[in-house]
Chain A
Amino acid sequence: MKSKWNNNLKGYVRIEIIGQESSSFINTCIQSGIQIWDIKPIDGDRVHVSISVPDVQRAKAILKQNKLKIRIKEKKGTPFLIKKMWKRNGFILGIVSFIFILFLLSNMIWNINVIGANPKTEYELRKAALEIGVKKGKFIFLLPNVREIQRQLTEKMGNVTWIGVTQHGTSYRFEVVEKEIPKEKQITGPRHLVATKQAVIHSLFVEKGQPVVTVNDYVQKGTLLVSGYIGKEKKPELVSAKGEIFGEVWYETKVEIPLNTSFQTYTGKFENRHYVSLFGLDIPIYGFSDGEFQDKTETLNESPLYLAKWKMPVSYIKKEIRETDGVKRSYTKAEAIEVGKEMAKKELLKKLPEDAKIKGEKVWQQKVSNGKVKLTMLYQVIENIASEQPIPIQQGE
C-alpha cells in the first residue's frame, strides 16, 4: 500500500491489454519484477492494468512475446498532472500573480492624510515625509516604523509642536498641532508702565509718558514706573506710555550636585540581528553574533506584513544590540561647586527673557550632606521690568 503513494508521485499509466492470454502476461511480469496493479478484466479478451512509467517499455516487450496488443488509456500521477497544469500555465500564473500583486498592494502606502495643519505646514510636512520616504506607492515594510517616522518628522519640522503619526492599514495619518506664535498686541490705548517685580531701577529709557521713578529707586511689584498722564496737573493728557525700564533683580537658584554619579553611555559599538517571525517563531536570517558585549541594551523593531487587511503571521524583526558602558564620575568639592555654578546659570538663563543680562553672581549657601553638594546661588540680573497697564477711561466726564 505504501507503494501507491510512490506510484502516484512517479506517475503511472493505465493500459488496456487486448488478447487471450492475459494471465501469462501477469505471471511474466511478476517473475521479471515489473510491478502491475489494479488488474481489471473488462470482458473476454480485454484487461485494464496499471503500470509505472519506467516499466512500460519492458512490459511492451513481454506483450510482444505473448502476442498481445497494448493501448494506453490514461496517464496518472504527479508528472502528468504537472504537465497538464503546465499546459494551463496561464491560469496558474494568474493565481500566483494575483496573490503576489494583492500582497504587494496591501503593503503599499495608498493614502497620506494630514490633519490639523494649514496649507503651508501641510506642504512642508508632505515634503519632509517625502524625504523620509513616506509617499504613495512606497512599500510599508521598507519604511522605518511609525515611532521612528514621528521622531524624524518632529525633528525636521520646526514650526509644529507635535506630530502624531498613525498607520491604518495602507494609509498614513499625520496629526499636526501647530505652534501658535502669538502676535504682538498693538495697544494704542492710554496706559501706564508698572513694575513686574521687585527691583532696583538701573536705567530708564522712556519714549512716551512721564517717568515717576529715578535710577536707584527701589520698586515693588506693581509700582507705577511711567505714568500715562502728561502735561499740566490740572488738565492732564492721556498717552500710551512706552519705554524700557531696566531694573536690578535678584534671583535665587538652588542646585544639588551629587559627588559620585554613575551613568550609562553607548560606546557606539552595535550589532544588528534580523529575524523573520513565522507564527510567533523568530527565525534568524542575518546577523548571528550578540556582539559579546558586557553591558548592552536591546531594541526590537517589528514590521508585520499584511495581505489585504489581514495581518500575516509573518513579520520582519530587526533587533539592535548596542554596547553600553557604565561610567563613574566623581567630583571633588571644589569641582562640584564649579559645576553647580554652571548648572545654576544655565537654569537661570532658561527662565530669563532674551534681553536680560547677568551682572553678578554670589554663592549664598553651600552645604555638603549625603554625598551631595547643595548650592544656593544669588544672581544679580538686569532686565526690563516694565509692563503695560491700561488706564480705564472714565465715561461721562
Chain B
Amino acid sequence: MGKLRQQVSKWMMQNLELPADVVMDLPRITMIGQLHIYIENHRGVKAFSNEQLKLKLKQGTLVISGREFVIKTILPEEILLEGTISSVDFEND
C-alpha cells in the first residue's frame, strides 16, 4: 500500500509539476551560508547537543553537525538552527 502511494506521488511530482516536499512529505531545508539552517517538515528532535542536531524525518534521520548550536525557534513542523554548520547528512535506517 505504502509502496503504491509513494509511486503515485512520485509520478504526480514528475508529471504534474507539483513541489516534491508537499506531495511526498519530504523535509524542505533552507541554508544561509554556514550560519542558519531552516528545516520544515521534521518529525521531532532525536538528540541535541552543542555540536550535533539529530532530527527525525518521515523516513530516516537528518544529522546536522557543526559548532555552537542554538535552536532559535522550534515549532511542531519547523526548526531554525543557528551556529556554524559544517555538514548535513541523511541517514536511512
What is the interface of chain A, defined by CB distance below 8 A to chain B? 1, 22-23, 26-27, 30-31, 36-41, 43-44, 47
Are B48's CB and A37's CB within 8 A? no
Q: How far is the CA of A122 from the CA of B1 in the complex (A)?
A: 110
Partner of B76, one of A30, A37, A41: A30
B50 proximity list for chain A (CB < 8 A):
41, 43
- The reply to whether A23 and B71 contact each other, CB–CB distance below 8 Å, is no
Q: Mark B32-49, 1 if CB is under 8 A from A, else 0.
A: 000000000000111111
Is A31 within 8 A of B70, CB to CB? Answer: no
- One of A27, A37, A41 near B49 (C-beta < 8 A): A41
Least CB distance, B36 to chain A, in whole angstroms: 12
Taking the complex as formed, is B73 at the interface, i.e. its CB lies under 8 A from any CB of chain A? yes
Asked if B45 and A26 make an inter-chain contact with CB atoms under 8 angstroms apart, the answer reads yes
Q: Which chain A residue has the least Cβ–Cβ distance from B55? A: A23
Say yes or no: A39-B48 contact (C-beta < 8 A), given A30-B74, A31-B76.
yes
Enumerate the 9 nearest inter-chain pairs by beta-carbon distance, A residue then B residue, closest first.
Answer: A39-B71, A27-B44, A23-B45, A40-B70, A41-B50, A26-B45, A23-B48, A41-B49, A23-B47
Query: Chain A residues near B44 (CB, 8 Å)?
Result: 27, 30
Size bracket, chain B contacts: 10 to 19
Quote the shortest CB–CB distance from B72 to chain A (angstroms): 6
Partner of B46 from A23, A39, A41 at Cβ < 8 Å: A23
Q: Which of A22, A36, A47 lies in contact with B74, CB distance below 8 A?
A: A36
B76 and A39 form a contact (CB under 8 A): no
In Å, the complex CA distance between A23 and B69 comes to: 14
Interface membership of B4, Cβ < 8 A: no
Q: In chain B, what residue has the closest Cβ to A42? A: B50
**Proximity bits, B53-88, A CB within 8 Å = 1, else 0:** 010000000000000011111111000000000000
Question: Which residues of chain A have C-beta atoms less than 8 A from B71's C-beta?
Answer: 26, 37-40
With both chains docked as a complex, state the minimum distance between the C-beta of A46 and any C-beta of chain B, in angstroms: 11
Q: Which of B54, B69, B73, B75 contacts A41 (CB 8 A)?
A: B69
Chain A residues with CB below 8 A from B69, complex form: 40-41
The chain B residue with its CB closest to the CB of A49 is B71
Residues of B contacting A23 in the complex (Cβ-Cβ under 8 angstroms): 45-48, 54
Contacts A22-B48, A23-B46, A23-B54 aside, 9 further interface pairs with beta carbons under 8 A come to A1-B73, A37-B72, A38-B70, A40-B70, A40-B71, A41-B48, A41-B50, A43-B50, A44-B49
Shortest CB-to-CB span from A1 to chain B, Å, is: 8
Q: Which residue of A lies closest to B46 (CB)?
A: A23
> With the chains together, A47 CA to B72 CA distance in Å?
13
Q: How far is the CA of A172 from the CA of B93 in the complex (A)?
A: 91
Chain B residue with the shortest CB-CB distance to A26: B45
